[in-house]
Each structure stands twice: as structure tokens, then as C-alpha cells.
Amino acid sequence: MRCAGAGLGGFFTPTGADSRLATGKEVRPDRDCPRLYAWHRALWGRSVPGGPPLELAVVPARGFEMSLRTAGGPLFRLASDGVIPTWSSRGWARWFDADLAAEIAKDADDFHRVASTIGGYILFPRNSIGQAGSTINQARGVDRRIADRFDLTLECIRLHYSDPSAYNPLGERLAYYADFFALFGDFDGFVRLFLLDDLVTADRSAVLSFMSGEPVSGFSMSALAVDPAQYAEYRRRSLAFVKERTHGFASSASHRTPAMQHGCAASAKQRRTPATSDRRSPRGGDDGGELR
């Protein structure tokens, strides 16, 4: 990703972003891109269903992060998280055979470019003073039962609300940030605020899989694609989700567009070095790593 003197449209138009690159400064958008955080503030600074408005502010802190509070409530540190991995970086490649790796590489840049529009991002808590351990962003990237997939992450969040005693790969870390999730009241409130309706059933009783389109039913199956056909289906469904969510954002934010001087755009040439620490994801990031 690169941050350049561009307008806001690049986060809504994946193909238009590259044509507006002006400088060569390589950035990690989840950490370094002010335009991304301006969109977060515009989209999520509204009332939680049945609750008070969320007061969001962009905070420079070795890059950018968000602060969040409700009237009279505690202060939260939040960071942007890209939610759609392509599994195309070298850190992931060791898990795939040659045929599957070829399928992943085939459209990796276009896939990544669309996944880098605003429909492919969300906010999760960062550790505040006195907090320690993996963030949700880190935990979902490291755990092979999740493999950075947002559909499986969302299923873990659903279980956090509906059945805290159920088997949940991210249960311990979600419970650690329980005060953040309590802001939304219940799973429906979380889904409605972050415009995730296309990824759940109408009654909110299940999350739909990016692999099959069917409800997620546990975590016993491989979180990674096992053959080219399955990956192609994962890519198709992930792209459809991001495009529909981005389209929904365009109308949601049209009346409160943030006025920012800088923008970020996806760079097809960007590749990340695989991580070696067990605490870091194969995508090569921590709280602000760029997904590949």
C-alpha cells in the first residue's frame, strides 16, 4: 500500500486507486494511512442500535489508531484490521501444494486490490495500559483454526455473545475485550453497526462460510483452502462480500464524508516478508499488518 496526495474515492474504487499514486512512500495502511482512519471515523461514529453514539477520534501514535468512548464510558484504543486474506504471501505459501499455490497466485494482485477497499476493513481493540497478550487481530492470524478468515472470526464473535461456554478458538481473547463487545449489546448490534448483514443469516443464528456459502458449523475443517476449486470459491465469495459492503458504505457515509488531505491506494507490487515469531501471523503483520 502507498499513501499519496489523493482524494477519498480510492477506498471505494479499487481500480481507480493506483492511477492516483503520487509519491513512492510505502506504508502499512492499517497503521499509516490517514484516509483509512478518516473513513473509519465517518462510518462508525454513529449510534449503536439501542445505545448512545460512539465518539471516535483519530489519534497519531507511531502511525494512526482510533480512540473510542461513549458518553461517560471508558476509553478504548482501536486499530484498523484488513479482514480478507488472499494467502498469497510467502508466509502462507508453505501450506499449499503447487496446484493450489498457482491458483492463489493467478489473480492475487486484483484480489488484494479489491480486498483493500473500505469494505475489507473493520476496527478491533488494541491493548490499553495494563492490558497484555495477543490482540484479536494477532490471534486470528496466528491460529490455524481461523487462518485470518473473517467469516470464522465472526463466528467466534457470534459465539462470544450467544454461547460463551461453547468451543471457540478466539474465545479467551474475545472475553479479554468483553467491555468492547458489550458496547454493541448483542451480536445483532455488532452486525448492524459494522454492516456485516451479508455474512450472517437473517435471524443472526449463523455466519455464512466464504468457502461454501453455508452456515459455519464448527472449526473441525481446515480453515485454509485444500484445492484450487475451493480457493476459487473462497475468492469469489470474499470479493462479492467486500464489493457489496463497500457499496453499502458509499450511501451510509455520503452525508458525512471526512475532509482529509491524504489517501492510500493498493500497490500490486507490495509483498511482505513472512513472520518467524509464533506470536505473528503468516501474513507478516501484527496490529497493523497488511494482509496478503
Bridge partners, residue 264, by sequence: 3
> Is residue 288 a part of any domain in this protein?
no
At 55, give phi and psi (nearest 5°): -95, 110
pLDDT of residue 87: 95
Both ends of the chain: CA-CA distance in Å? Answer: 11
> pLDDT tens digits, residue range 99-113?
999 999 998 999 999
- pTM comes to 0.81
pLDDT at 278 over 50: no
pLDDT at 169 over 70: yes
pLDDT at 132 over 70: yes
**Of 181-185, 214-218, 230-234, 267-271, which range is least confident?**
267-271
pLDDT of residue 32: 62
> Is residue 147 a part of any domain in this protein?
yes
> Is residue 280 a part of any domain in this protein?
no
Work out the average pLDDT over 59-68: 73
> Is residue 232 a part of any domain in this protein?
yes
> Is residue 291 a part of any domain in this protein?
no
pLDDT of residue 126: 84
- The domain in which residue 190 lies consists of 2-265
Work out the average pLDDT over 168-179: 96
- 108 CB neighbour count, 10 Å cutoff: 18
> Is residue 282 a part of any domain in this protein?
no
Q: Domain total for the chain?
A: 1
> Is residue 85 a part of any domain in this protein?
yes
> Is residue 283 a part of any domain in this protein?
no
Binned at pLDDT 50, 70 and 90, residue 277 comes out as very low
Binned at pLDDT 50, 70 and 90, residue 287 comes out as low
